[in-house]
Amino acid sequence: MPSDAKLRQVADIMARVAEDTSVPRNIRRAASEAREALLKEKDDDVVRAGSAILILDEISNDPNMPVHTRTTIWNALSILETVRG
C-alpha cells in the first residue's frame, strides 16, 4: 500500500476516535491533532507519519483510555511505522 494511502487510512481512524464520545476529551483532542498532522500535504509522508506517531505515542498509555480505543491507536501506530520515505 502506498504511504499516502496509509496516511489517509490512519487519518480516517483518528477521525472516528475524535468523534467517539465514550473517549475522554484529551484523547479525542490528540486524535484530532494526529489527524491534522497526517493531512498536512506540504510535509513529506515520513514527517507526517512521525508527527502523528509522537502525538499518539504520548497518549497511548493514558490510564483513562478505553480498551477498544487503545487497541485502535496501537493498530494506527503499527500502520504509521510502516511508512517509509
Look at the chain and report how many structural domains it folds into: 1
- Give per-residue pLDDT as tens, 51-76: 999 999 999 989 999 999 999 999 99
Q: Is residue 57 part of a domain?
A: yes
CATH number of the domain to which 34 belongs: 1.20.1440.50
Q: Which of 21, 15, 1, 13 is nearest to 72 (CA)?
A: 13
Determine the structural domain holding residue 51 and report its residue range. Answer: 3-80
3-state secondary structure of 69: helix
Q: Is residue 85 part of a domain?
A: no
- Give per-residue pLDDT as tens, 2-49: 888 999 999 999 999 999 999 999 999 999 999 999 999 899 999 999
3-state secondary structure of 20: coil
Task: Quote the pTM value.
Answer: 0.92
